[in-house]
Every structure is written in C-alpha cells, then in structure tokens.
Structure 1
Amino acid sequence: MASRGFRHRRIGAFASAALFLLSCSREPPRITDADVVVAKVNGAPVTLQELKAEIASIQGLSPSAVSKGTAPEVSQALRRLVERSMVLQEGVRQGISVTESELEEEVKRYRSDFPPGGLEKTLLQQGIGMDEWRSRMRQSLLYRKSAEAVAGRLAEVTEEEVRRAWRERPRRTSPPEQILVRQLMFDTEESALRVRERILAGDSPDKAVLKGSGEGPAPAIADLGYLSREDLPRELSGELFALPAGGASRVVRRDKSVSIFLVEGRRESREESFEEAAPQIREELLRAKREEGFRGWMEGEMARADVKIQEAILAELTEGKR
C-alpha cells in the first residue's frame, strides 16, 4: 500500500512539473495589425491593418511595403476610413448586404484583367492572401451599394428641371456629320489609278475593280462604316468630307499600301431633340444631386459621430514623430 501511495504522489509530481513547464514555454499570442484598434466610429473599430492599407493606397504602394506615412497621408487615410465606416453602418441600418453571386461576379471582373494565375501572382507579390483580398472586395462592394443607397434616396430630378437644363445648354448636333467609307487596297499604284479613272468615268466600284485590275490581283476591300471627321486621319478627313456620295479619293500611299477611299453615303448632322438629350441630361442632374446630397449627409454624420482616436498609435505611424 505504501508503494502505491508513493507511486501516486510521484505521478502527481511529474504532472505538476509538466504543467509548470508547459505554462512557462507557452508564448503569448502574437498581436498583428488586424488586432490593433486605432480608432472607433460609433463603437465600430478601425484597425491598424486597415489604416496602413489606406496609406498604401494613397502612396501607390502595396500594404506590405508601408510602415509609416506623412502627417497629411495619415490624416487623409483615417478620414477616409471614418467616412467609410459611417457609410457601412448606414448600410447595415438599411439592411444592405453583398450576395455570393455579386462577390463572384466582381472577382470574375477583376480576373478578366489578368492572364491565368496572374491575379494570384500579383496578390502574392503584394503580400495579400486570396481570402483577405476577397474580404476586402466584399467590403468594397458593400460600401459601394451602401453609398448608392444613401445618395439615391437624397436625389430626385423632375421633368421641369430636365427641360430647363435642356433650354439653357448649347444645342448639340446628333449625330455629327458622317460619311460611309469603303477602302480599296492595291498592290501597285498603277492598278489603283486605273480603277479610280473608271469610277470617275461612271463605272460602279465593283465594275471598275473588275475591269481595272486587269491581269493583276483584285484589291482588298474594307467597309469602314459611317465615320465622323474625328474618326479619320487629319490629312484624309477634309478631302473625303468634300466628296459627294459616289466620289473617290486620290490615290493614297500609307506605309506599304496603296489605297483609294470611296464615299458611298452621307448622314447630315442635325440638332439634337429634347427626347434624345433628356436621358443624358437627367443622368447628369442626378449625378450632381447625388454627390451634393451625399456630401451634405456625410457632413451631418461627421458632426454627430462618436469618433475616438488612439493618438499615440497615430504618432508612431507618422513620419518624423516619436
């Protein structure tokens, strides 16, 4: 019995020692920038990670390359984050959210700008994980939808406002004068001259090409569609717009090609009607009202917001301050 009791005491001693060693060897959890709160906006945290990412955006750098910023950069970045937080809070109040399909559509849109695997490579170079990037993308979409909801309910444009804007703005021509152009491209200047002479003599372009090409290859033909003066090279626009429908340009040498340009039709410019101009005018007025309304809403929210800032952390992040 005595030996059993000793064995229990010895095991207990070993267990106590092991627990002691474990407690001594366990390191405190590593604090990351995502754990450090630099400000609170109506109780919602703004983290050091978010602030550094915003400073990086201002500096045009990747977040991993940023350790400090100038006082104006830090101030601007923090203000953006405070405003963003207030917009997101309003979005929550209005029940706005981002669905998985919306997020996937945005991710797909970004991927389309990169070759296969290019997005992941770029994020890796910037020290950003895919999960973190998707989270940022979701927040960006949520902010956009929330801001649109705020601005949308603050702006309304009446029919009379659209008509007044239409009366006050300079009249536009819609569309600008255009000509229907066909380009004939030849191997030699001689072939081009023969075809041009037949067209000027009254042959149709197709007949002129058939007779004028002779034994040589037929020209390549490109239908360029309706073009405005701005669509054409300056050295060609004056000549082509001076031609009547059915006219042919001089023989034009450009690089290694020899061409004739045919004017096959014309659309005259005319004054834009109210019905044609109204959609664009309405959108312009709405955009201006939304921006003005959003700025007013933000100023009011900023005045009422409870914003608490950790000045000591900002000082550490600001260049030239200790």
Structure 2
Amino acid sequence: MKKTIIFLLLTLLLISGCKDKSEEPGIIARVNGKPIYLTQLDYKYDLMHDGSAGFVPSVNQVRSEYGQILGDIIVQELVTQELQERNVPVSDQELKEAEDEVRSDYPEGAFEQILIEEYIDLNSWRRQLRYQLAMDKFFSQILRPEIKIDYKEAEDYYRTHLSDFYISAGYQFIMIKGFSRDLVSKGVELYRKGVSPDKISSRFKQVSVREIWIRNDQLPAGWESFVKELEPGKASPIIAQEREFICLILKEKKSATLLTPLQAYSAVEKVLLEKKLDDKFELWLKKKIAASKIKISKKLLPREQSKEAVQTEDKNAQTE
C-alpha cells in the first residue's frame, strides 16, 4: 500500500494544478471538484504528533508530512467517489453503527470527554471514520470478489517458503502484569474465574492481560526456574521484574514442528490475498488517477517542483 501512495504523490506532482487565487480559503485541493480542506490535514497531522510536545519540525518536514497526509486523503476520496458511482456508498446508518461500536468501549459520557481532552473535533473524527469504512468496503465488496486463489498456487508458495512455516519449540502463556503484587494476584483470580482479559484490564487500570508466545531459546533467564516444570493450566508464582510484577499461566508447551500444507493453508491464503489485493488496488488507482481531475495547492509541493508546476500550468489541459 505504501508504494501505491508514493506513486500517487509522484503522479500528482505531474498532473496537478496550482491553487487558483480565487479559490475558497481553507481549500487545499480538489478531487473531481470535491474540496479537501486544510482542517482535514491539520486533524491527521495533530494525530500523528500526539504526545510529541516540545518537538519543533522544520518547514520542509512539515510540508513533506502534509503532502503524505494529503496523498492518503486523496486516495480515500477517490475510493469514496468510486463507491458512490457504483451505488454502494457508506450509508449514514453504517457510519452510526461503527460509531456506536467505538462508543460501546467507553463508559457513558467518557467518549466525548476524551475528545475534549485530546482537542479532537467530533465532525473531523466522523469524517475520517467514514473514509476508513469506505476503504474497508471497497476492499471487501469490490476488490475481494474479483480475486481467486487456487490450491496449486498456495502449494507452490508453501514449498518455496518452507522456513516461514517452521514453528520453533516454545511456550504459550497468558501473562498478567502490573505494578502491584496484590493487583496481579487479583487479576489471576479473576482470569481463573473466566473473566475476559479486556474486563480485567478495565477493572484494574494498572493490570494488563495478554497472550504471548516465547521460543525456548528466548525464555528470559529469570523465568526459567518458574516455568520449566509448569504444566498446562497452571500458574507460576508472581515474579518480581524490575518495577513490575508478572504471573505466567501456561496455555501450551509446544514442540518444534513444520506445519503441513493443510495446516498452513489459511496463512498462505492470507499472504497471497494481501498481495493480490494490493496489486489490484494499485492498478485500479492508476486508472482512477488518469481519469480524474486532481488539483492541489502549490504550497504543499517541494519548492523546485512547485516552480515546475507553475510552468506546466499553461501547457497542461488538466490544470486551471
């Protein structure tokens, strides 16, 4: 996907026109007449640099990052327009359902409070959510049905990438970690009662519960004496580790093995599918760009290319 975005940016430098002096203030680009606003770029730029207080980037770095963000937004806008042309746009109901799903992870009123604390505009957040839904819909409903993966293709990939399907001997753990021995102990107790990891972490904010896989040769020396004789389903004592405490519950002790073609098929299919989706998307994007009228502000172009764009403006039929 990244090479696709790079291609898009390089293409835009060649076909895009400069912003008209009579353009409405705040509009940084147009995609087939649809405006893209500077506030959209500001929103994503702020998210990228959240938590980097005190860092002062150079002017060229800011211009470069804004250009990359604009490239992402243009791709999303082209996809959105394609869905509209095919009469399968992201509906308001789909947007609401996606938003409700995000909100369900927060206590009542907490979602709005987080937006306020993080200076996130709700409308900007919704616009970006709609873009993301459009991308997901385009890949799943438009591109995916056009892709076929036969068993022979998967078998060839398996045989030429055998090392990818060799599973080293190791341990599968549930690791419960926190800054308090007592809280970790309570987390272990809740896990044994069947409480989900997410609920445990929500109840005890300073406790994390996650599944980890560690190869035999990667097992920390401080853990070895605690887990060497551990049986599946059993928990280690609570281990003090620097300023943290952890408890390891053994899920499975695995011997080294090579997955059979049948066992590896789902993983192989996923790799092949991702590559084919990326290739098909890049092909679609090239054609879409060639058939579209895309104009961006010269302020986002590198200085040398900005001058070239101005010189090309009168010669290029796609520029204003």
TM-score of the superposed pair, with normalisation by structure 1 = 0.52
The corresponding residue for 2:71 is: 79
Which deviations, in whole Å up to 9, do the C-alpha atoms of 1:34-62 show, x marking residues without a partner? 97432221222212322322333444479
Report the count of equivalent residues: 218
Shift of 1:72: 1.0
Specify the code of the residue in structure 1 equivalent to 2:83: G
User: Does residue 159 of the first structure (1) align with residue 146 of the second (2)?
Assistant: no
The corresponding residue for 2:270 is: 283
Which deviations, in whole Å up to 9, do the C-alpha atoms of 1:248-289 show, x marking residues without a partner? xxxx9966xxxxxxx9x9765543222111111111111111
Q: 1:308 aligns with which of 278, 295, 309?
A: 295
Greater mean deviation of Cα atoms: 290-299 or 158-167: 290-299
Q: 2:38 aligns with which of 41, 44, 48?
A: 48
Greater mean deviation of Cα atoms: 279-288 or 297-306: 297-306
8 Å contact 2:77–2:131 — kept in the other structure?
no
8 Å contact 2:31–2:77 — kept in the other structure?
yes
The corresponding residue for 1:293 is: 280
Q: 1:92 aligns with which of 65, 84, 88?
A: 84
Q: Secondary structure of the equivalent of 1:98?
A: coil
Structure possessing the higher relative contact order (Cα contacts under 8 Å, 6 or more residues apart): 2
Q: Secondary structure of the equivalent of 2:30?
A: strand
Specify the code of the residue in structure 2 equivalent to 1:39: A
Distance 1:295 1:155 in 2: 14
Distance 1:148 1:109 in 2: 19
Q: 1:168 aligns with which of 152, 156, 160?
A: 160
Shift of 1:299: 2.7
Shift of 1:140: 2.6
Q: 2:95 aligns with which of 99, 103, 120?
A: 103
Distance 1:167 1:161 in 2: 10
Q: Secondary structure of the equivalent of 1:92?
A: helix
Q: Secondary structure of the equivalent of 1:294?
A: helix
The corresponding residue for 1:118 is: 110
8 Å contact 1:123–1:130 — kept in the other structure?
yes
Which deviations, in whole Å up to 9, do the C-alpha atoms of 1:140-170 show, x marking residues without a partner? 3123322444542553322111011111222
8 Å contact 2:76–2:134 — kept in the other structure?
no
Cα distance 1:97–1:305, how it changes in 2: closer, same or farther (>3 A)? closer
Cα distance 1:60–1:304, how it changes in 2: closer, same or farther (>3 A)? farther
Distance 1:113 1:235 in 2: 36
Q: Secondary structure of the equivalent of 2:152?
A: helix
The corresponding residue for 1:193 is: none
Specify the code of the residue in structure 1 equivalent to 2:275: A
Distance 1:95 1:253 in 2: 57
Distance 1:117 1:145 in 2: 29
Shift of 1:228: 7.3
Distance 2:72 2:258 in 1: 44
Distance 2:134 2:26 in 1: 23
TM-score of the superposed pair, with normalisation by structure 2 = 0.53
8 Å contact 1:178–1:269 — kept in the other structure?
no
**Unaligned 5+ residue runs, structure 2?**
1-23, 53-58, 174-213, 232-236, 241-249, 302-320
Cα distance 1:166–1:37, how it changes in 2: closer, same or farther (>3 A)? same
Greater mean deviation of Cα atoms: 124-133 or 37-46: 124-133
Cα distance 1:71–1:85, how it changes in 2: closer, same or farther (>3 A)? same
Distance 1:237 1:141 in 2: 46
8 Å contact 1:154–1:293 — kept in the other structure?
no
RMSD: 4.4
Q: Secondary structure of the equivalent of 1:46?
A: strand
User: Does residue 39 of the first structure (1) align with residue 26 of the second (2)?
Assistant: no
**Unaligned 5+ residue runs, structure 1?**
1-33, 63-67, 181-226, 246-251, 256-262, 316-322
Q: Secondary structure of the equivalent of 1:70?
A: helix
Distance 1:282 1:291 in 2: 14
The corresponding residue for 2:180 is: none
